[in-house]
Amino acid sequence: MSHAKSGEDANGECHDSKSRVTIVGSGSWGSVAAKLVASNALKLPSFHDEVRMWVFEEVLPNGEKLTDVINKTNENANYLPGIKLGRNVVADPDLENAVKEANMLVFVTPHQFMDGICKKLKGKIKGEVEAISLVKGMEVKKEGPCMISSLITKELGINCCVLMGANIANEIAVEKFSEATVGYRESREIADTWVQLFSTPYFMVTPVHDVEGVELCGTLKNVVAIAAGFVDGLEMGNNTKASAAIMRIGLREMKALSKLLFPSVKGSTFFESCGVADVITTCFGGRNRRVAEAFAQSGGKRSFDELEAEMLEGQKLQGVSTAREVYETLNHSGKLEMFPLFSTVHQICIGPMTKRAAEEAPPSTDSSTTGPNFLGCYRDQVAELLSQEERLPHHEDGDTKKPSTEIIGAGISSLKREKLKALLRQCVTDLIPGVDEMQSRARSMLLMSQLSNKKPSISVTNEEVEDDIQLLMKSDPRLFKEIVKKHTDDVLTSLNNMQQQAEKLLDNVATSCRPMSRDEKRDLQRSIKELPGGNLKRIAEIIKDHHAASGKAFSDEVTVNLEEEDNVMLWRLHFYVAAVKSARKLAS
């Protein structure tokens, strides 16, 4: 790393030959980073003794400010009590002031805060400044996933290395042996400077020329740790966690996703401290595993937000938000089915996030109903909207004039009609992720079932997925069959419930439709006759269900006579036929 020289430049301004370091962040890991760097700054002649640490100001229960307490006691009473950081660590609550003289910046905050921090520092960083990120996570933007090191480089215009590894802050704080990996993109000399600044007899650091690989290891392992916590909370045993799936599959999915996002990622990086060692360490310790274990022990009744507040004392949980970001990335790329562990963790995690929708939905009388009742929630909102305003006059049924091009909400005001359409669009938007996950889950169950019968009829994109299933099948056939049956039953129950709620939602929507014209009835009759046998059976079911709900008598044999059906039924059939046509067009 090139340091400024002592003396004067062409403008006569003095420059300091020593580097100044600022730690941006003051949680448990940030405080440990400050302790490591501060101890080395005192020994290295090329660094100033003072190490500044930006602290997000908090007021402690005794009324004192956290920065004042750190500067007075040399301890972070909130996040690392009992550990001396070093007399040369100075806490500063002013972000801009903390970094203004530094030419080496260490970023170590929860990843969800990094975008805001970079925006605040944009244009404030001057001269030859180097950065290193200890932040585990990524930002998902419209153009795709953005690693935190890339965000720092883009927003601040400075080079950024990364440091990741098998690190539990509280253990390093008491100087138990640990190791980490510095990932660098440009100069090995810069990487060596960071290694020198962080290395101690109890904290061994090695450089690797692979920023993305090192950073993704540190990011994705938190999702694997969440899965390990679920296993612990369900008391499935260490064999399940270590051998049968979680860590091995998790590491494999980490490697596959990293290669998918950045083909330049090196396979050897996953054998460094930031890779396999970090996965093992985090899956047996660390906040993500602990909170996920508590979540599973509560049966999912306690939200991650609640558990985070109770268990982490102000620290942030990274795995849940990272699981969501990974899901968004995979869903956008159409690769969800290749990553069953990541997809499953996200599916479990989104339950508490949708708690409000579940609470707003009406209670179901079906004891087999599972999951938040999104459709029931929207059904009631649609019904409430349609009851708020009296209908405007319709034209008479059979009127020969050209019917309105508006079908849904044609008999209500324009404002109400637009609100109705917005509700329906939002309903579809909210359901898409759940449907995608269900499809992926159903496909996995189908593959497991077929492999158990040794008749795989669907393609396997990753041979190792089949190997994992075969391993579980051989090690515990009874458990394997129970898993297949349980998940299959869950998927079928969810689909059945979704269908029932969709029927009720469509009934409400159909009540807002204008009367169907005679020409439209003739077109509908013709379209029904052209449907395949399986779809005709569904037409009969729709008519039967509608008659039963209306209190009409019906026989086992259904004759489709559109002249005898009410307007709601006609439009229900119209929507079904249109959906079938759209599906067949997509499949062709």
Rounded distance between C-alpha atoms, residue 238 and residue 232, angstroms: 8
What pLDDT score does 47 carry? Answer: 96
What pLDDT score does 569 carry? Answer: 84
Structure tokens at 194: 């960071």
Structure-derived torsion over alpha carbons of residues 325, 326, 328, 332, reported in degrees to the nearest 10: 140
Query: Which position has the token pair 């929708």?
Result: 357
Bridge partners (DSSP) of residue 14 are 8
What pLDDT score does 306 carry? Answer: 87
What pLDDT score does 395 carry? Answer: 39
What pLDDT score does 458 carry? Answer: 41
- In the residue annotation, 221 being an active-site residue is answered as yes
Rounded distance between C-alpha atoms, residue 63 and residue 438, angstroms: 50
What pLDDT score does 581 carry? Answer: 82
Task: Determine the CATH number of domain 214-363.
Answer: 1.10.1040.10
What pLDDT score does 75 carry? Answer: 96
**Same fold for the domain at 7-209 and the one at 214-363?**
no
Neighbours of 122 (CB within 10 A): 12
What pLDDT score does 146 carry? Answer: 86
Q: Cα separations (Å) of 137 from 35, 151, 166, 379?
A: 23, 11, 16, 37
Q: What residues of the chain score a pLDDT lower than 50?
A: 1-14, 243-244, 352-374, 389-404, 454-465
Q: Which CATH class is domain 517-588?
A: mainly alpha
User: Which of the residues 18, 72, 124, 221 is marked catalytic?
Assistant: 221
pTM: 0.58
Cβ neighbours for 131, distance < 8 A, ≥ 6 positions apart? 104, 105, 106, 107, 152, 153, 156, 158, 159, 160, 161
Q: Which CATH architecture has domain 7-209?
A: 3-Layer(aba) Sandwich (3.40)
Whether the Cβ atoms of residue 346 and residue 437 lie closer than 8 Å to each other: yes
Structure-derived torsion over alpha carbons of residues 272, 276, 279, 283, reported in degrees to the nearest 10: -130
What pLDDT score does 522 carry? Answer: 87
For the chain, domain boundaries: 7-209, 214-363, 366-514, 517-588
Cβ neighbours for 125, distance < 8 A, ≥ 6 positions apart? 99, 105, 156, 157, 158
What pLDDT score does 11 carry? Answer: 46
